[in-house]
Structure formats: structure tokens, C-alpha cells
């Protein structure tokens, strides 16, 4: 719409310049006629011509003023459109922020449990339709409380954000990584080869997460380290619906903690 207004303004300006040129030409002709009439070199009838010229120039001046009013109206409309566009951009940004707030974890930016559950439901539909395999992992960060006690909650939050970035980097395009409550992360693995492949991915997560973090504080850099326990459930053997799979993965996580092993399978 702004481009249309710009084109109209350009045309109004062009017409205005044309009217100015016509008025100038008429004024010049009127000056010559008036001079020749005063010198009695033209018949008196030319006085009527002079009057019509002046009347025409007045109408041109009125048209010029009307064009000016049109230009001001267009300028006001452009201002209103700009204001509307700015409000629309603000509303879109607010809507996007609200959507992210509703579906993404505020600390890490990962999928929150609601979005993760939606992705899991969709993944199960694909797995059922295409005969894919699917796995759910629940990852519990161990030692986060000790990090909070030793370095402060801000450092603990930075550790969680670091882990989130590491998991995000390791995530395949068709997979989903999310965050549960506290130091818990969720991982949806789509269409893998076999249980051995899943175990390799889980073990890679263990190595990635347990690497010391580098966190900048007011007192300098600190390098807190944590461990992780992972419970794995696989579709369809450990559950055919989302709730059953997540529940099986949590039971596997409890098994991993009980046996002090980094990774445990539900079955």
C-alpha cells in the first residue's frame, strides 16, 4: 500500500509542477496583453481575453491548492499506515513471544513438556503409519544441587543452558530434545536402526553432558561438572502410546540410578 501511495504522491507532484508552469505561462501572456492594451496597440476586445486568462489562472491556483490538500491527505494516510504497520509488527512479535513462552522452556529455549508431548504424539503417528522404530529418553542431570550449593543458582542455570546447547547440537533434524522439570531433559529419537544404535547415542550424550562446563562469574571462570543418568523406552515394545512410553523411560531411569549405571533400558 505504501508503494501505491508513493506513486500517487509522485503523480500529484508532477501535476502540481505542470500547473505551476501553466500559471507562469498565463501570467507572462497576461503581462504582455496588459502592456499592449495600455499602449493601445491591441483592440479593446482583448481586454476580455485578458480577463479570461486571469480567471483561468485563478482556477489553476485553486486546482493547485486542491492538489496540495490531496498531497497532505496522502501524507496523513501514509503516516497512519506506518503506525498500523508498526503496531502489526509489535503484535506479531508479541504473539511469537507468547507462542514461544507457551511451547518452549524459558531458560534453555528447548521444547517444554507440552511441545515435547505434541512431538511425541506426532512421532507415534508416523511410526505406526510407516512402521518406524521410536525411542524416548529421560535424562536426569546428577550433581546439579551440589553445583547450586557451591557456586550459586546462576551458575547452575548456566550449566543447564550449556547442556541444552550440547544436546541441541547432537540432535538430528527429525528428533526432538526438550526440558522437563529441574535438571531433567527429554529426547525423542525417530527411526533408528536397532537398540545398539540407541545405546550408542545415549552413551554419546553421557560423554557430552559430563564434560566440565566453562561458566563466567564475577569472580572469574569456574568449571563445574555433573553426571547424568538416562532411562530409555522403545516403541512398540515398551509402550504404544505417549504416556506409556514416558512412564517406561522414567522407570528405566530409576533402574539406572539404582544400579548406578549411566544408561538403562526399560526392557
Contact criterion met (CB below 8 Å) for 111 and 99: no
> What is the domain extent for residue 145?
113-265
Contact criterion met (CB below 8 Å) for 150 and 265: no
Q: What is the CATH number of the domain that holds 232?
A: 3.30.70.270
Contact criterion met (CB below 8 Å) for 135 and 232: yes
Task: Determine the Cα angle at 121 with ends 117 and 127, to 5°.
Answer: 135
**Angle, helix 195-210 to helix 153-170, in steps of 10 degrees:** 140
- pLDDT tens digits, residue range 209-223? 999 999 998 878 999
For residue 108, being part of any structural domain is answered with no
For residue 247, being part of any structural domain is answered with yes
Q: Which comes out higher in pLDDT, residue 51 or 161?
A: 161
pLDDT at 75 over 90: no
Stretch (H or E) spanning 81: helix 46-103
How far is residue 78's CA from residue 232's CA, in Å, rounded to a whole number?
59
Domain identity same for 119 and 249: yes
Domain identity same for 137 and 24: no
How far is residue 155's CA from residue 212's CA, in Å, rounded to a whole number?
12
pLDDT at residue 209, as a whole number: 94
Smallest Cα–Cα separation from 36: which of 26, 46, 24? 46
For residue 164, being part of any structural domain is answered with yes
Domain boundary residue among 64, 79, 103?
A: 103
Q: Which comes out higher in pLDDT, residue 73 or 187?
A: 187
Domain identity same for 87 and 158: no
pLDDT at residue 250, as a whole number: 97
Domain identity same for 84 and 64: yes
Domain identity same for 172 and 259: yes
How far is residue 188's CA from residue 243's CA, in Å, rounded to a whole number?
13
* Residue 181 per-residue DSSP state: S
Q: How large is the average pLDDT for residues 235-244?
A: 94
Could you give the strand order of the β-sheet that contains 263-265, starting from the edge strand earlier in sequence? 176-179, 184-190, 134-142, 227-235, 263-265
Domain identity same for 177 and 93: no
For residue 25, being part of any structural domain is answered with yes
Neighbour-count burial of 151, counting CB atoms closer than 10 A to its CB (0-12 exposed, 13-18 middle, 19+ buried):
middle
- pLDDT tens digits, residue range 86-111? 776 866 666 665 465 667 898 999 99
Domain identity same for 189 and 92: no
pLDDT at residue 21, as a whole number: 75
Domain identity same for 145 and 171: yes
Whole-model pTM?
0.65
pLDDT at 2 over 60: no
Q: Which comes out higher in pLDDT, residue 20 or 165?
A: 165
**Residue 186: strand pairing partners:** 138, 178
* Residue 211 per-residue DSSP state: S
Distance of CA 174 to the CA centre of its chain: 21
Give the burial string for 225-246 (b: 16+ CB within 10 Å, else e): ebebbbbbbbbeebbeebebbb
- pLDDT tens digits, residue range 54-72? 777 777 777 777 777 777 7
Domain identity same for 83 and 59: yes
Domain boundary residue among 73, 103, 133?
A: 103
For residue 216, being part of any structural domain is answered with yes
Domain identity same for 80 and 144: no
Domain identity same for 180 and 158: yes
Q: Which comes out higher in pLDDT, residue 88 or 245?
A: 245
Domain boundary residue among 103, 132, 161?
A: 103
- pLDDT tens digits, residue range 147-200? 999 999 999 999 999 999 999 888 887 899 999 999 999 999 998 878 899 999
Domain identity same for 121 and 231: yes
pLDDT at residue 97, as a whole number: 57
φ, ψ of residue 220 in degrees (nearest 5): 130, -165
How far is residue 172's CA from residue 190's CA, in Å, rounded to a whole number?
9
φ, ψ of residue 39 in degrees (nearest 5): -90, 5
For residue 122, being part of any structural domain is answered with yes
- Total count of domains within the chain: 2
How far is residue 27's CA from residue 81's CA, in Å, rounded to a whole number?
40
Amino acid at each position: 500500500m505504501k508503494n501505491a501511495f508513493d506513486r500517487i504522491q509522485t503523480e500529484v507532484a508532477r501535476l502540481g509542477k505542470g500547473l505551476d508552469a501553466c500559471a507562469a505561462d498565463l501570467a507572462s501572456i497576461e503581462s504582455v496583453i496588459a502592456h499592449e492594451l495600455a499602449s493601445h496597440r491591441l483592440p479593446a476586445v482583448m481586454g476580455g481575453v485578458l480577463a479570461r486568462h486571469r480567471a483561468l489562472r485563478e482556477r489553476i491556483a485553486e486546482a493547485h491548492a486542491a492538489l496540495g490538500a490531496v498531497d497532505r491527505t496522502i501524507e496523513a494516510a501514509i503516516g497512519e499506515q506506518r503506525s498500523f504497520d508498526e503496531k502489526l509488527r509489535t503484535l506479531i512479535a508479541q504473539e511469537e513471544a507468547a507462542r514461544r513462552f507457551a511451547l518452549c522452556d524459558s531458560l534453555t529455549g528447548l521444547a517444554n513438556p507440552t511441545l515435547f508431548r505434541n512431538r511425541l504424539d506426532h512421532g507415534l503417528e508416523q511410526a505406526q503409519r510407516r512402521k518406524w522404530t521410536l525411542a524416548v529418553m529421560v535424562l536426569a542431570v546428577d550433581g546439579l544441587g551440589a553445583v547450586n550449593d557451591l557456586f550459586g543458582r546462576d551458575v547452575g542455570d548456566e550449566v543447564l543452558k550449556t547442556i541444552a546447547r550440547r544436546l541441541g547440537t547432537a540432535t538430528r533434524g527429525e528428533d526432538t530434545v526438550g526440558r522437563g522439570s529441574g535438571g531433567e531433559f527429554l529426547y525423542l529419537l525417530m527411526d533408528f536402526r536397532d537398540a545398539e544404535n540407541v545405546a550408542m547415542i545415549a552413551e554419546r550424550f553421557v560423554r557430552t553432558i559430563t564434560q566440565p562446563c566453562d561458566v563466567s562469574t564475577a569472580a572469574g571462570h569456574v568449571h563445574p561438572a555433573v553426571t547424568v543418568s538416562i532411562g530409555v523406552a522403545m516403541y512398540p515394545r515398551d509402550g504404544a502410546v505417549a504416556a506409556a512410553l514416558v512412564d517406561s523411560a522414567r522407570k528405566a531411569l530409576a533402574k539406572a540410578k539404582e544400579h548406578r549405571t549411566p544408561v538403562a533400558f526399560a526392557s
